[in-house]
């Protein structure tokens, strides 16, 4: 049985998407696989840091609502 390929995880604000464990550089004219390990490592670290920051902000949101109520 064929499974649809997973939708990529787009890194907000950047022309890159992580699909199938690989980073792809995307543009209006197409995409190219990012293969440089230093570059992709930085993308991994940036994506992890951004996700951690978003979790922290989400955790603060209920607390802020209590202050303003």
Cβ atoms within 10 A of the Cβ of 10, count? 14
**CA Rg, the chain, in Å?**
16
Domain of 22, in residue numbers: 9-68
What is the model's pTM? 0.70
Total domains in the chain come to: 1
**13 pLDDT more than 60:** yes
Is residue 34 a part of any domain in this protein?
yes
Is residue 25 a part of any domain in this protein?
yes
Q: Which residues contact 10 (CB under 8 A, 6 or more apart)?
A: 16, 17, 18
Give the pLDDT confidence of 32-62 residue by residue, as tens digits: 999 999 999 999 999 999 999 999 988 887 7
Please report which confidence band the pLDDT of residue 63 belongs to, taking 50, 70 and 90 as the band edges: low
Is residue 3 a part of any domain in this protein?
no
More confident site: 41 or 8 = 41
Span 19-31, average pLDDT: 93
């Amino acid at each position: 049985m064929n499974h649809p390929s997973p939708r990529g995880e787009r890194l907000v604000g950047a022309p890159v998407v992580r699909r199938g464990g690989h980073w792809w550089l995307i543009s209006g004219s197409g995409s190219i696989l990012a293969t440089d390990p230093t570059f992709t490592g930085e993308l991994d670290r940036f994506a992890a840091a951004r996700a951690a920051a978003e979790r922290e902000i989400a955790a603060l949101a209920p607390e802020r609502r209590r202050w303003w109520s």
